[in-house]
Amino acid sequence: KAGVTQTPRYLIKTRGQQVTLSCSPISGHRSVSWYQQTPGQGLQFLFEYFSETQRNKGNFPGRFSGRQFSNSRSEMNVSTLELGDSALYLCASSLTGDHQPQHFGDGTRLSIL
Amino acid sequence: GQQVMQIPQYQHVQEGEDFTTYCNSSTTLSNIQWYKQRPGGHPVFLIQLVKSGEVKKQKRLTFQFGEAKKNSSLHITATQTTDVGTYFCAGQSNTGKLIFGQGTTLQVKP
């Protein structure tokens, strides 16, 4: 069974640009969550999608948005990039999200110049 | 909002010594999960605790969930170099949101 796939693996952008990250969950998993990981802040929850609907949201500004498609694939968009957005963005999937293990992808490392 | 605090941030031990990391939530949790992230890797699920006072063991690892379901611990007996990595607790509230602690990075000297 294929794991969670995130693309691209690495990305370099400049301030003010926007970026879209992609996540393909494990087949059959309908819940997809996104996290931002930085050395100082650990794993910060961005949002969770289930059946194409945002079910939970963390405390990030509106520049961070996401969506989920009917095949459960998810995308995350960050607009007007800032230097502080440099981080590893991790996607995790689970069957339904509640009381279930999260299966993480390898992440997209985003660097803002 | 819900917060999950984890201590210590770093721990260096000699191989064979024990190791413990502690997790505290500001709110009562419906369950707590533990993950391990090796250097350069992604978090990997270790275990989930659901019941008040629950204790679970995986070989040299012992996981506990507090009676009030607001704290948890992970204890490793006789550490090995393969235990190196960052251990995260993640608490899930009734809203379903999974909030991670800051993690404890374990270094083991051979």
- In this predicted model, what pLDDT tens digit does every residue of B14-58 receive, in sequence order? 999 999 999 999 999 999 999 999 999 999 999 999 999 999 999
User: Which residues, in sequence order, are CB contacts of A102 under 8 Å at separation 6+?
Assistant: A33, A92, A93, A94, B33, B35, B43, B45, B90, B98
pLDDT for B96 beyond 90:
no
Q: What pLDDT digit, counting tens, does each position of A34-85 carry?
A: 999 998 778 999 999 999 999 999 999 999 999 999 999 999 999 999 999 9
Q: Is B30 on the interface with A (CB under 8 A)?
A: yes
Q: What residue has token string 């440099």?
A: A86
Chain A residue nearest residue B46, CA to CA = A101
Q: Do residue A43 and residue B88 have CB atoms under 8 angstroms apart?
A: yes
Q: Do residue B101 and residue A101 have CB atoms under 8 angstroms apart?
A: no
Residue B38, pLDDT score: 96
Chain A positions contacting chain B at CB under 8 Å are 33, 35, 41-45, 48, 55-56, 58-59, 90, 92, 97-99, 101-107
